[in-house]
Structure 1
Amino acid sequence: MEEYKPGTTFPGKIGLTVGESDPAWPEPLRARKDAPNVLFIVLDDTGYGQLGCYGSPINTPNLDKLASNGLLYNNMHTTALCSPSRSCILTGRNHHSNHVASIMETSTGYPGYDCYIPFENGFLSEILQLHGYNTYCVGKWHLTPAEQMSAAGPYDRWPTGRGFERYYGFLGGDTHQYYPDLVYDNHQVEPEKTAEKGYHLTEDLADRAIHFIADAKQVAPDKPFFMYFATGAMHAPHHTPKEYADRYKGVFDDGWEAYREKVFARQKEMGIIPENSELPYHDPDVPEWDKCSAEEKKLYARMMEVFAGFLEHTDHQIGRLLDFLENIEEMDNTLIMVISDNGASAEGGPTGSVNENRFFNNVPESLEDNLAALDELGGPRHFNHYPWGWTWAGDTPFKRWKRETYRGGTSDAFIAHWPEGIKARGEVRTQYAHVVDMVPTVLEILGIEPPEEIRGVAQSPIEGMSFANTFNDAKAEGKRNTQYFEMFGHRSIYHNGWRAVCPYPGPSFRKAADETGYKFGDPITEQMLRERDSNGWELYNISEDFTESNDLADQYPEILQELINQWYVEAGKYNVLPIDGSTVARFAAQRPQISKDRSRYVYYPGTQEVPENAAARVLNRPHVIAAMVDIPKGGAEGVLLRHGGRTGGYTLFVKDGKLHYIHNYVGVKELHVVSEKNVPEGRVILSYQFEPVGKPDLSSGKGTPGTGTLYFNEEQAGKAEIPVTMPNMIGLGGGLAIGQDSGSTVTDSYKAPFAFTGTIHRVIVDVSGDRIEDHEAEIRAALARQ
């Protein structure tokens, strides 16, 4: 059979009849013979000292096996935050070059900050698709502008719009592990089973990854694949089957200082860190374990047990995917790269949390309340996160954590495994590298030149540098001599073995408050910038001081000034300016919207999981929810509208013949309005009206109080006082849905999905009243879901 390249001259013969003609076919797009598969495994919020192969007591046998049969890198770096790092991993360009200075919810109108990843910054998926690869994305995405994640699209910045042929996962920064917000390709779906029947998101994602690969390999076994497998674990909520958490009972009872000391010693024994490394000072923001009460120790230790179980459970699911590759004889010719998107997360605060929604709404958590949830931590009823003492411990041997550009935020575990291409086994690589280097490394291995254009769009230069030369040469010279970092005004730069850091608001929250008065999220003024540039930078000789323990700024001012100058050079080159330390202002910034703001929302039956940022915003304002329905003879029951979940939300439903409205105040209590009469049969408008009777106290976690009234058509059917409402944010368990409450139900008054058995024609939500907002609380919520 004769083939020819599409776009070239037809080489066959065309006569008057088929008998006088010779056929030829356009050549199918094929990868080169024996091209390896490529698998990126992206962990979330996993610190340098949390994998077993990096000295942790947490059991991660499958990842450890990759390290022992491949390479472990001790000098890999990320941006210190989720979306920015992921953009680098997939494009090979720096995060400001990708316009992703921060998470997607905090975009601002500057080239490095608008969160619209340019199409001239092609994704690895787009490149490999052009070279005959199947391309799959499974798990967390968080690379679509927040205002484009609803069903209204546009879809060109969803995974399937950026070169991935198939997608299954969640688009945002986090999701409930038992009741996730799932998207399949470009439409929302529900999990195939419930938490009560054993559902867990990570297991589901592993199943889907296996199915994607199997679907194609059984038809075209020689066609390679690229898979981006990003589970979202170990981001909050820390959800894991109880049996996994229970495996760690007592393991962490001696506290976070002991954890750091033991892991630090183990890292030296394993040759992961230099023998002369020092363990940095006790972080001022972390309480000493011995000064915690017995009850605090009990709670905090269990929170860490749950996290450890979550990580081991995740490792097991990764192992299932690896076992499948082994079974189909694809393991040896699959290049696997494992990376975390940033250091361990401190978003649980100093005392941890069992319901992050309380934190987002300024509702304090008490030790007593959290202890009451102790036996249920890791289960579906709570949205839990450990205290930042464990964050600090998880980033051993470094100081600080995610969102900061000390090494605790930017230095991450990295494993490379490829039996057919990497001869070394179980060796440590020390060359300096950054996640922007992953794409060019893959391209060099595959013998692919970066394309000049993709789908007609001219491509920008790739900014990463391949480290493929280190695969089989431990002494190979690293190619990356300079790398800048910036996150919320926290800046640093690496240059030829030296590292300069300008922490913002300071080296710790406590020191910043005591010495400068600045706090996280404060905007950086010109005066503040000059002040920080004059006396706020620290200097470390990383080639001799691996853990940034000894500040040499006073000893080598000339070197420090050289690095500061170099930082500004890099900043100018990669769209880092203007320097922005703000959070509230970023979140409150006006952005282009798909539709104009409106006061009347119309929803139709079957609507499911409208995201929070696209749903009707009813908090702290008068509003009406009105459902036009047909009630059959004998009555009906079920949910009319639901928004949120167990951690907070509201629901309008019919049960036992009555119309009900329940406002779940951040999982603490349910405020209930019920009709006095039964819902009439036939066509009827069932509505709930909220009228404020006072002002909110947002800083104290109290939204607008009011009166809730139920109506059948225009007839009042029930009334009750609503003394407190959620001030800032609906719950974390789900978006707005019509006709059912699937997953994490707003109330225990019914069981999911409690689908409406009558006919819903439409549900209208009117929010024409003025709304009072707390942008500072909203930005905290956005930052924690990254």
Structure 2
Amino acid sequence: MSEEPQLHEYRPGTTFPGVIGRTVDESSPAWPEPLRAAEGAPNVLFIVIDDMGYGQLGCYGSPIRTPNIDRIAAGGIRFANMHTTALCSPTRTCILTGRNHHSNHMAAITEASTGFPGYDGNVPFENGFIAEILKGEGYNTFAVGKWHVTPTDQTTAAGPYDRWPLGRGFERYYGFLGGDTHQYYPELVYDNHRVEPPKTPEEGYHLTEDLVDRAIAFIADAKQVAPTKPFFTYFAPGAMHAPHHAPKEWTDRYAGVFDEGWDVYRERAFARQKQLGLVPEGAELSRHDPDVQQWDSLSDDERRLYARMMEVFAGFLEHTDHQIGRLLAFLEELGVLDDTLIMLISDNGASSEGGPTGSINENKFFNFVPDSLEQNLAAIDELGGPKYFNHYPWGWTWAGNTPFRRWKRETYRGGISDPFMVQWTNRIPARGEIRTQYAHAIDMVPTVLDLLGIEPPASIRGVTQSPIEGVSFKDALVEASAPSSRTTQYFEMLGHRSIYHDGWRAVCPWPGTSFSESGRAFGDPITADVLRELDADAWELYHVAEDFAENHDLAAQYPDKLVELISLWYVEAGKYNVLPIDGRGQQRFAEQRPVIAKDRSRYVYFPHTSEVAGSAAPRLVNRPHTINALVEIPDGGAEGVLVSQGGVDGGYSLYLQGGRLVYTYNYVAAEYFHITSDTDVPSGRHILSMEFAPTGEPSIREGKGTPGTVTLFVDGEAIGGGELPVTIPIMLGLAAGVSVGLDAGAPLTDAYAAPFPFTGTIHRVVYDVSGEHIVDHEAELRAALARQ
């Protein structure tokens, strides 16, 4: 049997090397050469955990069992001195681009963008993603899980899609675009479109399991066709961000483990960190944080509640570790685990959004609504389940960042020093070793490129690329005694500033060293006068080469060194788009931003369409508005949701039930208001409406939006009403999309069994935020009815 002739290939864009005759028999073919990765190119796997502190993994001293993550550490290298930005979206852009977060225009989370170059949330195309680079080198590229690096106004079905995962170099995507999501009712995107979860919580659904299933499927799809083609997979579960959701059989494994409190946790974790070699033998544990209660001063009920909140977190983490283990086991089954470069990192320190007392609804934090011990205790047996959006208290946040002070959002080491490990069995010989070299998340991309022998491209898709700002730490992976390749790194997050240089750190905390000591609240603005005072008096100085946990402020002892570092911070700030300094927090969420569609007072929605993202929905908080549903009700009546927005964490629903029109308002799961019509809604074609009319002013810093009256109408005729004594002041919900014809996702009320789809016909739903009353539209309403 004769051998098949060898294909003649040529590089696309070069001259065709074959022969073109008048007929095929006197011609010789040649084919454009397919894009192939370099011979022996490894797979690359990034695992990005959310809100996980330095002292929360088993291999970093925690009592929480994380055997699969520990296996990565045992098979490779743990870093004791890795740093992030103190917040999720900014760090993720660093991980993906190798540039600083302000260079990426991502000074804070996307929802807090402002109109300045370092802050607008639009990662420039000249800052190429590692997915774009590796795709150009012949890799398959997959992103699974949390994204949160697309401007919120661009996460709608209207796009633009060029800053979604598939627009930034990933060939496949499955996950959620926002900052967090319900683990049992997630807001899922598959490639470029919204999808519903494949199962319900009652059928055993949990997001982390689903994400691992999808990651395995993406890899399997490609490997069964092209076994030698490498992949880059960016795996970013919603864990360990709130809500802390895990099946009860996992959370119950930790019953009683945390009953001795957060101080005991810290002492034991710190001792273990020293044994592991992560913390220098002479290091000191940071002080008891002034904002954290003394465990012994708490009531029995408080200790019982807070211990259970931590049990839920621990179960969530062990459950997450188990799912990561499934992914690693699949790679091992494929025979590719040993030739996969794995980097695992947390995006910031442990999170403090639960407040001093913990919360059953994280959305309270974003709306300045205080938590209630009574409400939290009432929920204790259901924490971790789908009913609540729960988060633990500050004490466990502080303990989770052992041995450091403070937490996420702040640039003390508790906010910016994070677990990080690297494993590549076939190429990195280290096993279970510790590295103390200074590194930052921006250094991951250049290190991967260095290990793979890839030069950063001069351009991507015709866009000239900016210099990568990170530096490779490849030498530290090979040689334990290699010097740190990074000697300087600035930090800024929500006005909290610091800088590292050659073993020293200067820190200017905002709103202060603690809330209780400063007398300020998170989100207090920094004016020009305040900034001058801060620069004159508030900077602290730490010799972290000897003072690992920033315990000894040397500012008075070394004033020249402090001035040097403050000046260096401003040099770096000018270099990387850090100015203007902005101390505001939640207030930034209300910032006016450009939108694709021109601002309007009327929004028209249709049934059988994707949920409208909250960022594109009409802004209803603290303003008059009406909702009008043009419907057809069959003989015998109909029931179900006409329109809803939000979920368990807050929102509203307008629906028919028992023949009556009902409006339910969920005030951050603290109070529920149900307003029902006085009469039944007749069959036929009708416009069913609700009108909200404010009756007072909001008290936003007290967690109270505008109070008002709600009136219900059929065809412009009032059929009932009631009072909303308090409303949500800033964010209806953490995602808060508008759904027509059902209550999608996590149900916002237990007044019905969600999704409670409408059994009649909805032609359209019209929102009006002009401030005009329903009666002003009577003629228009009748005309609309006539056209149906």
TM-score w.r.t. the length of structure 1 is 0.95
CA contact (8 A) 1:608 1:735 kept: no
Does residue 177 of structure 2 align to residue 171 of structure 1?
yes
CA contact (8 A) 1:179 1:733 kept: no
Cα deviation, 1:17-53, whole Å, max 9, x if unaligned, reads 0000000000000101121010000011100000000
Q: Which residue of 1 aligns with 2:77?
A: 71
Residue identity matched to 1:579: I
Residue identity matched to 2:24: V
Q: How does 1:550-589 map to 2 (within 5 A)?
A: 550-583=552-585, 586-589=588-591
CA contact (8 A) 1:622 1:769 kept: yes
Q: Which residue of 2 aligns with 1:90?
A: 96
Deviation, structure 1 residue 700: 4.4
Residue identity matched to 1:497: G
Which deviates more, 497-506 or 319-328?
497-506
Does residue 290 of structure 2 align to residue 284 of structure 1?
yes
Unaligned runs of 5+ in 1: 772-786
Deviation, structure 1 residue 642: 0.9
Q: Which residue of 1 aligns with 2:411?
A: 405
Cα deviation, 1:712-732, whole Å, max 9, x if unaligned, reads 323443334444433333234
Does residue 751 of structure 2 align to residue 749 of structure 1?
yes
Does residue 257 of structure 2 align to residue 255 of structure 1?
no
CA contact (8 A) 2:355 2:365 kept: no
Aligned length: 767
Cα deviation, 1:460-492, whole Å, max 9, x if unaligned, reads 011111111122211122211111111122211
Which deviates more, 633-642 or 489-498?
633-642
Unaligned runs of 5+ in 2: 1-6, 774-788
Structure 1 residues 548 and 697 mapped into 2: Cα distance closer, same or farther (>3 Å)?
closer
Which deviates more, 354-363 or 189-198?
354-363
Structure 1 residues 703 and 405 mapped into 2: Cα distance closer, same or farther (>3 Å)?
closer
Q: Which residue of 1 aligns with 2:200?
A: 194
Q: Which residue of 1 aligns with 2:676?
A: 674
Cα deviation, 1:145-169, whole Å, max 9, x if unaligned, reads 1221111211111111111111111
Q: Which residue of 2 aligns with 1:526?
A: 528
Which deviates more, 559-568 or 480-489?
559-568
Deviation, structure 1 residue 11: 0.5
Within 2, Cα distance between the matches of 1:250 and 1:526? Answer: 50
CA contact (8 A) 2:187 2:745 kept: no
Q: How does 1:366-765 map to 2 (within 5 A)?
A: 366-513=372-519, 518-583=520-585, 586-732=588-734, 734-765=736-767
Which deviates more, 187-196 or 531-540?
531-540
Structure 1 residues 11 and 565 mapped into 2: Cα distance closer, same or farther (>3 Å)?
same
Residue identity matched to 1:626: N
Residue identity matched to 2:460: I
What SS is found at the alignment partner of 2:81? strand
Q: Which residue of 2 aligns with 1:780?
A: none
Deviation, structure 1 residue 698: 4.3
Does residue 371 of structure 2 align to residue 337 of structure 1?
no
Q: Which residue of 2 aligns with 1:226?
A: 232
Identity of aligned pairs, percent?
A: 68
Deviation, structure 1 residue 699: 4.7
Residue identity matched to 1:37: N
Q: How does 1:313-328 map to 2 (within 5 A)?
A: 313-328=319-334
Residue identity matched to 2:411: T
Cα deviation, 1:631-679, whole Å, max 9, x if unaligned, reads 2343332211011122322112223333322222332343223344443
Cα deviation, 1:115-149, whole Å, max 9, x if unaligned, reads 11110000000000101111111111111112211
Within 1, Cα distance between the matches of 2:621 and 2:583? Answer: 28
Which deviates more, 214-223 or 99-108?
99-108
Structure 1 residues 646 and 7 mapped into 2: Cα distance closer, same or farther (>3 Å)?
same
Residue identity matched to 2:67: P
Within 1, Cα distance between the matches of 2:547 and 2:281? Answer: 11
Deviation, structure 1 residue 769: 1.8
What SS is found at the alignment partner of 2:419? strand
Q: Which residue of 2 aligns with 1:9?
A: 15
Deviation, structure 1 residue 757: 2.2
What SS is found at the alignment partner of 2:603? strand
Residue identity matched to 2:693: E
Q: Which residue of 2 aligns with 1:351?
A: 357
Within 2, Cα distance between the matches of 1:620 and 1:541? Answer: 49
Structure 1 residues 112 and 709 mapped into 2: Cα distance closer, same or farther (>3 Å)?
closer
Q: Which residue of 2 aligns with 1:297?
A: 303
Residue identity matched to 2:231: F
Within 2, Cα distance between the matches of 1:601 and 1:66? Answer: 51
Q: Which residue of 1 aligns with 2:779?
A: none
What SS is found at the alignment partner of 2:257? coil
Structure 1 residues 41 and 352 mapped into 2: Cα distance closer, same or farther (>3 Å)?
same
Deviation, structure 1 residue 114: 1.5
Structure 1 residues 21 and 166 mapped into 2: Cα distance closer, same or farther (>3 Å)?
same
CA contact (8 A) 1:600 1:768 kept: yes
Q: Which residue of 1 aligns with 2:783?
A: none
What SS is found at the alignment partner of 1:471? helix
Deviation, structure 1 residue 601: 0.9
CA contact (8 A) 2:632 2:683 kept: yes
CA contact (8 A) 2:614 2:735 kept: no
Structure 1 residues 520 and 729 mapped into 2: Cα distance closer, same or farther (>3 Å)?
closer
Does residue 771 of structure 2 align to residue 769 of structure 1?
yes
Residue identity matched to 2:110: M
Within 2, Cα distance between the matches of 1:92 and 1:739? Answer: 44
Residue identity matched to 1:147: D
Deviation, structure 1 residue 734: 4.4
Which deviates more, 582-591 or 454-463?
582-591
Q: Which residue of 2 aligns with 1:184?
A: 190
Does residue 154 of structure 2 align to residue 152 of structure 1?
no
CA contact (8 A) 1:12 1:22 kept: yes
What SS is found at the alignment partner of 1:247? helix
Cα deviation, 1:30-77, whole Å, max 9, x if unaligned, reads 101121010000011100000000000001010001001111110111
TM-score w.r.t. the length of structure 2 is 0.94
CA contact (8 A) 2:309 2:392 kept: yes
What SS is found at the alignment partner of 1:236? coil
CA contact (8 A) 2:651 2:665 kept: yes
Equivalent of residue 116 in structure 2, options 110, 117, 133: 110
Deviation, structure 1 residue 770: 8.9
Cα deviation, 1:171-212, whole Å, max 9, x if unaligned, reads 111111111111111111110111111111111111111111
What SS is found at the alignment partner of 1:40? strand
Residue identity matched to 1:527: D
Within 2, Cα distance between the matches of 1:616 and 1:216? Answer: 42
Within 2, Cα distance between the matches of 1:500 and 1:359? Answer: 29
Within 1, Cα distance between the matches of 2:531 and 2:650? Answer: 40
Does residue 57 of structure 2 align to residue 51 of structure 1?
yes
CA contact (8 A) 1:181 1:734 kept: no
Within 2, Cα distance between the matches of 1:277 and 1:150? Answer: 49
Cα deviation, 1:242-266, whole Å, max 9, x if unaligned, reads 1111111111111111111000000
CA contact (8 A) 2:590 2:730 kept: no
Within 1, Cα distance between the matches of 2:24 and 2:551? Answer: 80
Does residue 231 of structure 2 align to residue 236 of structure 1?
no
Structure 1 residues 723 and 110 mapped into 2: Cα distance closer, same or farther (>3 Å)?
closer
Cα deviation, 1:258-293, whole Å, max 9, x if unaligned, reads 111000000011111111111121111111111111
Deviation, structure 1 residue 733: 6.8
Residue identity matched to 2:25: G
Which deviates more, 280-289 or 357-366?
357-366
Deviation, structure 1 residue 695: 4.5
Q: Which residue of 2 aligns with 1:268?
A: 274
